């Protein structure tokens, strides 16, 4: 991996940036020249590995810790972010916010408990809302917000209904923010992955399940984290300056029909 100048001089924060799709997004934005804050909730070692990987490849990154889904999570994350920037002697502020962090609870409506539902909403919907709220004073004009949702919010997939509902909240947030922040030149868009090979989907370890998921794509394979990271990188770049309020299906053509 070698760095480019596409995002030179810009600072990005990727929530859940140490593993899976988030790790690939962090690496891609760093490769494009951004200073990347790699947020993590629990796995300190994974965050350090992600940062080390970026630095070894010639990029710039630092880890930011905050548990999401708890009271005061947004304020705690931004306080940590500000402190880490200051420690590095960097200018305060932000150019790119990627709301990627999320959790999943499998099960149909009959299976999900109230506790699980509340946790899903807290991490997948409430946390991004207040992270954006706290980011507004930090985000520079001409900045980017990218929300990572799910292709399952636009099709029936009852095996993870509660998860789909929580991600659907991001689909609603995106156009509202795009309208509000447009006068500042800030774009807001959603990227919606489909079946992607990450730790959040352990069912992919079953060869039959993997085959079924691969068959759902017109390309005949399961998506990779890099597939999603490249889509996010486009929306974070100047190339997407005239694109806002959009829902980008990054599912590999899942459920396009026969």
Cα dihedral sign for 169, 68, 229, 201?
A: negative
- Residue 134 to residues 7, 67, 114, 147, 196, Cα–Cα distance (Å): 23, 16, 28, 16, 30
Per the structure block, which two tokens stand in for 58? 């010639």
How far apart CA 189 and CA 98 sit, in angstroms, is 10
**Do the strands 139-148 and 247-250 form a parallel or antiparallel pair, or are they unpaired?**
unpaired
The active-site residue, picked from 81, 163, 195, 213, is: 163
* Nearest alpha carbon to residue 38 among 55, 56, 22: 22
Distance CA 86, CA 98 (A): 21
In whole angstroms, give the CA distance from residue 152 to residue 201: 13
Has 213 been annotated as catalytic? no
Angle at 166 between CA 141 and CA 147, to 5 degrees: 25
CA 224/CA 77 separation, integer angstroms: 28
Which residue, among 8, 4, 7, 1, has the nearest Cα to 27 in the 3D structure?
1
Distances (CA, A) of 42 to 15, 16, 72, 78: 12, 10, 16, 17
Residues known to be catalytic: 163
């Amino acid at each position: 991996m070698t760095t480019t100048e596409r995002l030179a001089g810009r600072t990005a924060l990727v929530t859940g940036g140490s593993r899976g799709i988030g790790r690939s997004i962090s690496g891609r934005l760093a490769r494009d020249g951004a200073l990347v804050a790699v947020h993590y909730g629990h796995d300190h070692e994974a965050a350090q590995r992600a940062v080390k990987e970026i630095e070894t490849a010639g990029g710039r990154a630092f880890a930011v810790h905050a548990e999401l889904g708890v009271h005061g999570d947004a304020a705690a994350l931004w306080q940590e972010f500000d402190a880490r920037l200051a420690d590095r002697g960097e200018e305060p502020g932000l150019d790119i916010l990627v709301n990627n962090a999320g959790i999943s609870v499998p099960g149909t409506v009959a299976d999900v408990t109230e506790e699980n539902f509340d946790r899903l909403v807290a991490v997948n919907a409430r946390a991004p809302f207040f992270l954006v709220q706290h980011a507004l004073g930090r985000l520079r004009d001409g900045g980017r917000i990218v929300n990572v949702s799910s292709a399952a919010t636009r099709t029936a997939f009852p095996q993870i209904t509660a998860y789909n509902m929580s991600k659907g909240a991001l689909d609603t947030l995106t156009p509202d923010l795009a309208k509000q922040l447009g006068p500042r030149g800030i774009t807001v868009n959603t990227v919606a992955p489909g079946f992607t090979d990450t730790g959040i989907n352990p069912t992919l370890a079953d060869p039959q399940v993997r085959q079924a998921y691969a068959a759902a794509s017109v390309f005949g394979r399961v998506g990779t984290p890099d597939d999603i990271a490249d889509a996010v990188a486009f929306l974070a770049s100047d190339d997407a300056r005239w694109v806002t309020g959009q829902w980008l299906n990054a599912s590999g053509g899942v459920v396009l029909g026969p």
